Amino acid sequence: MFCYQCEETAKGKGCTVVGICGKKAEVADLQDMLRYLLKGISICNTKSREAGEYNEEVDELIMDGLFSTITNANFDKKFFINKIHQAIKLRDKLRAKYSVENTHDSVTWSPKNDNDIIKKSQEVGILTTKDEDIRSLREMLTFGVKGMSAYYHHAYVLGYKDKDISNFIQEALVATTRNLSADELVTLNMKCGEMGIKTMALLDKANTSAYGNPEPTNVNIGVRNNPGILISGHDLKDLEELLEQTQGKGIDVYTHGEMLPANAYPKFKKYKNFVGNYGNSWWLQKEEFEKFNGPILLTTNCLVPPKDSYKDRVYTTGVVGFEGLKHIPNRKNGKSKDFSEIIKHAKKTSPPEKLEDGKITIGFAHNSVLGVADKIINAVKSGKIKRFIVMAGCDGRHKQREYYTEFARALPRDTVILTAGCAKYRYNKLGLGEIDGIPRVIDAGQCNDSYSLVVIAQKLAEVFGVSVNELPISFNIAWYEQKAVLVLLSLLSLGVKNIMLGPVLPAFVSPNILNVLVEKFNIMPNTNIEDDIKKMVAEVPAS
């Protein structure tokens, strides 16, 4: 086992015995095996892509296969063994169909049994690329397309598909098997960022077409006296079907973690049993799930290995998996998922224990913000808003992430925070106030709604007649996993410079590649609150 794809990787270098996330070494190796075979499938499907053909089976397996290997998504050995067999079968079918002559091992290797798979999985990991800089760029690209696959999955289940996205994911996987130069891989990483913007735009279109444009909403963070179901993750389609199936059954539905932004979509507001958000960021779930009392549905990554005391109340669906948890199967023949088991379970449970009271304000995606653009522009021109600080990204459990809470609290009162992703939980309940009715924390939504922040920045740049780098906007991004890697690559592909990244720089970025990023984009680590605020608010705002 060697894994360094998340911010918390052991000693800032790599997990080698067990994942900090709780992933066992054998599962980590099987994930490496699966992504290795996905490269082989991508090689075998090259002719199909070049001909512009659409192979749904290939696209779905690669998309969901990569998604399942994201940090905190799937810990289930059986899931990966089954996916590997599925991948081998599909690869060999493509290999025969297109008379593939490529002899890369990911194309030609086949096991006799599961033991062969387990043995081979220990030989195909990250460290097989010996050159540190090439390895760094290959893994950055791979992590980028993992994040892309996650976002594409959510658009895909809502019926929004784009073969250019699928083709690029496969192109990127093939590239990691070829002897490309560092410069060629840097170019591919920038293209990954461009495709990241396209993917997030597609997902934005899918979500808003299905559920309406998010609108400013005060979300209840208290509880009611009915039994409840807690839904966590990012998949709005799962939420919709759960809400439909719980109507009139005396069960309240609460969001958790990255599902919080769902409370701002107009379509969901028609459900009387959709009552608010329970708890905080993903890493607190062991304490908070314990107190919820009802069943919990995990729709995407962010699962922490559950405690035995509530393990029987946790359900997974989609690409999420953990040994011993109940799994709700995928949709078949155009029908909804069947949530009857979790609903039956909920009826037998006590109402949630109260964690807190009050409301938090969300729903400031690009449509809402641009609707009051004149008000914001006037506040900038009058000097009431001196600077916007983009604090998007991920939360995590390390103590140094308290930095983001104290940073937000210490910002001058004439600054406004733009946020998306679970990083918001570090400061969205601080009561930072308003500027002429404009909240000082403008929450655009989930991590994929970083796209909204891009749209807002581009609109401001257009109005002020300057580039994004000349706007009164600074970036202090917190990262944790691979979707954040894609968001970062997306910002870089737009030419955004002077991004502060933390709480530590990625272990998968080698010193030489870091130097390239510093020289080209002036990426920098965060240091201490006082110095970092000075750096971010010292620049002259657009006028």
CATH code of the domain containing 228? 3.40.50.2030
CA distances from 233 to 286, 299, 303, 330 (A): 15, 5, 9, 16
pLDDT > 80? residue 538: no
Query: What span, in angstroms and rounded, lies between the C-alpha atoms of 84 and 18?
Result: 21
Q: Last residue of some domain: 299, 321, 347?
A: 347
Helices marked H in 51-104 — which ranges?
A: 56-68, 77-97
39-70 pLDDT, tens digit per residue, is: 999 999 999 999 888 899 999 999 999 999 99
Query: What span, in angstroms and rounded, lies between the C-alpha atoms of 273 and 283?
Result: 26
| Contact predicate 433/402, CB 8 Å | no
Q: Number of folded domains in the chain?
A: 2
Helix count and strand count (H, E) for the chain: 19, 16
In a domain, 289, yes or no: yes
What does 24-53 look like in DSSP terms, one character per residue? BHHHHHHHHHHHHHHHHHHHHTHHHHHTT-
Among residues of the chain, what percentage have pLDDT more than 90?
Answer: 97
Average model confidence (pLDDT) across the chain = 96
pTM for the whole structure? 0.96
What is the domain range of residue 268?
A: 217-347
pLDDT > 80? residue 466: yes
In a domain, 437, yes or no: no
Tell me, what CATH number does 60's domain have?
A: 1.20.1270.20
Q: Last residue of some domain: 347, 367, 386?
A: 347
Q: Is 468 helix (H, G, I), strand (E, B) or coil?
A: helix
Q: Last residue of some domain: 297, 315, 347?
A: 347
Which helix or strand (DSSP H or E) is residue 201 part of? helix 182-211
| Contact predicate 71/483, CB 8 Å | no
226 — pLDDT class (breaks 50, 70, 90): very high
Query: What pLDDT, on a 0 to 100 scale, did the predictor assign at position 542?
Result: 40
CB burial of 63-99 (b: ≥16 within 10 Å; e: otherwise) equals bbbbbbbbbbbbbbbebbbebbeebbebbbebbeebe
E strands, 278-414, where?
A: 296-298, 314-317, 326-328, 359-362, 387-390
Amino acid at the residue 424: K
Tokens matching residue 456: 């807002």
Q: What is the mean pLDDT of residues 59-82?
A: 98
Q: Cα 429 to chain center, whole Å?
A: 22
Query: What pLDDT, on a 0 to 100 scale, did the predictor assign at position 540?
Result: 41
CA distances from 311 to 28, 281, 307, 314 (A): 22, 19, 6, 6
pLDDT > 60? residue 106: yes
285-344 pLDDT, tens digit per residue, is: 999 999 999 999 999 999 999 999 999 999 999 999 999 999 999 999 989 999 999 999
In a domain, 117, yes or no: yes
Strand 473-478 with 387-390, pairing:
parallel
Query: What pLDDT, on a 0 to 100 scale, did the predictor assign at position 539?
Result: 52
